[in-house]
Structure 1
């Protein structure tokens, strides 16, 4: 069969746009309301109202029909686009400096989280796949890490949903709790960016928590989070090798498979940062791009809130939720301890 992707591309893009438009408009409306609320309550920003409104609507009646594709599109793709646009705030030099500064704190929290997931998960009698998914989701980057690891360990769809629901619950709690912790400890925006970027597991929650704390903490937190996202690669490769040995199929990780693990939005973020470093994005334009990215974040969080399956979380049971809670607390505590030891807490 002859494939002609380029000639049909405009028609396919148009069809996709029509498919997602209703849900995107719903998320945009919620983001507009959340932005309006945030203008009266700056401490909340637009992120928290957006996710709260979305969850409240989903609790009353889960979205169905024509708006579902656009809700999923907003919760994933628009969030990734927002992260790409945040690159306009930073230069490549600052990214390298942030990576070097955050690496000791990041590696400490990741090691504690993964080790605790293995030990505590076994003590609690949680299945191997579920404790692995919750461990990497909490330690690296939430649903993105779970999505990357699940095919490698051949996780069941029910285990994947279970883990994502558990991790998402503590993402929401982190958005509410972390800014208060940061203010109570007298953190600077720089310190809070390191704290949130290292201890909060999902990109959307990092952005939300940093936005609530202060606008100046946002850029640094996102860079720390994106550097942490790169940990998907060595962890997934290691799990692939272990799974190959366990199953006896000897599945190999080729360079091409490894490159596929790098999130596209991380590459886009770096490209935009390159343009900023070269002076190709003027200051006023960068400010406008940042405002657009903040609104896209609110739309994404509205989509995530609308997608929340509260019944799945309730039916998942207490032991994986307990594991997720313990790992979240351990990750935060280890991050604070490592920051104190390296002089980054103040």
Structure 2
């Protein structure tokens, strides 16, 4: 354990240092918070001088376990009633955007000449949960490393675009915190980018965005099982079948942790001081995680992806965003 911690220390300290700097910036300019400065500082650092291999373990720890723990802490802000309400309200928006994304990924990608497996990876990455969905689906369809790299690089590019533009889009459309949480949780790909976009918009939007995102992530289970069945039929081999144990593993641990925290807050109601403390810790850990995301910026990988996957990624990103905005508008009209 000491050895493992020692190996992670350089990258973790780098991310934590950037998070401290981003928190100071956010203190002077509250409107930007700490999330946006963290990812920008990390990205600029990576472009000027990409961190070496000794920083990789710590950066990976910051971008995944730290972020996931921060999401669990966010559960202290919400009750079961709020979570259920947000989850049910978001379903029509989530399902419509996912359906359009998967159909467009197949048809438009085919028209552009994008390989079948790359189309699938871009479809699930854009429609469900970014790199996590790509990682879960890739072994099922037996995608090769270059296809995975293309898809992840393309998704990363539009994650950054969403973080930089969506908060301003939300303000321009007059969205309140709840509505923007629904928009960000549905239209942004990776969990880290959802957190970043919602944090930049407002602190109040963050909890709602996370709930919507976690509900959206659950779509990975039926999609992955369905792809496994399709692959088994195509190959006439049982290698792609997924049993109950593998299905359970598709449920992220931090989703379970978030729900448990919500249940505790519902039944015991955390004191205001405790909620404030967990929120502060969560906000700082999110900044550290986003610093790590910025530090992993690889412009070369994005260039190597070629224009076809990038164009398909752009089309899917615009479609999902447009369908989400349209579905939110229809729900608002019905509610009136």
Question: Residue 329 in 1 paired to residue 318 in 2?
Answer: yes
- Of 206, 223, 227 in structure 1, the residue corresponding to residue 211 of structure 2 is 223
Q: What residue number does 1:112 align with? A: 100
- Of 288, 301, 305 in structure 1, the residue corresponding to residue 277 of structure 2 is 288
Q: Which runs of 4+ in 1 moved over 4 A?
A: none
8 Å CA contact 1:198–1:228 kept in 2: the answer is: yes
Query: TM-score, structure 2 length as denominator?
Result: 0.97
- The 5 Å alignment of 1:62-73 reads 62-73=50-61
Supply the distance in 2 between the matched residues of 1:286 and 1:240 (Cα, whole angstroms).
42
Supply the distance in 1 between the matched residues of 2:151 and 2:276 (Cα, whole angstroms).
37
**Structure 2 unaligned regions, length at least 5:** none
- Alpha-carbon distance, 1:99 to partner: 0.9
- Alpha-carbon distance, 1:280 to partner: 5.4
Question: Residue 178 in 1 paired to residue 166 in 2?
Answer: yes
Deviation track 1:144-199 (CA, whole Å, cap 9, x = no partner) reads 11111111111111211111111011011101111111111111111111111111
Supply the distance in 1 between the matched residues of 2:2 and 2:272 (Cα, whole angstroms).
34
8 Å CA contact 1:72–1:307 kept in 2: the answer is: no
Supply the distance in 2 between the matched residues of 1:332 and 1:150 (Cα, whole angstroms).
25
8 Å CA contact 1:130–1:159 kept in 2: the answer is: yes
Q: Equivalent residue of 1:186, what SS?
A: coil
Matched residue pairs, number? 334
Pairwise CA RMSD of aligned residues? 1.4
Question: Residue 200 in 1 paired to residue 200 in 2?
Answer: no
Q: Equivalent residue of 2:268, what SS?
A: coil
Query: TM-score, structure 1 length as denominator?
Result: 0.94
Supply the distance in 2 between the matched residues of 1:279 and 1:25 (Cα, whole angstroms).
35
- The 5 Å alignment of 1:238-249 reads 238-249=226-237
Supply the distance in 2 between the matched residues of 1:266 and 1:286 (Cα, whole angstroms).
19
Q: What residue number does 1:272 align with? A: 261
Question: Residue 22 in 1 paired to residue 13 in 2?
Answer: no
Q: What residue number does 1:213 align with? A: 201
- The 5 Å alignment of 1:301-312 reads 301-312=290-301
- Alpha-carbon distance, 1:260 to partner: 0.9
Question: Residue 136 in 1 paired to residue 136 in 2?
Answer: no
8 Å CA contact 2:23–2:33 kept in 1: the answer is: yes
- Alpha-carbon distance, 1:281 to partner: 2.7
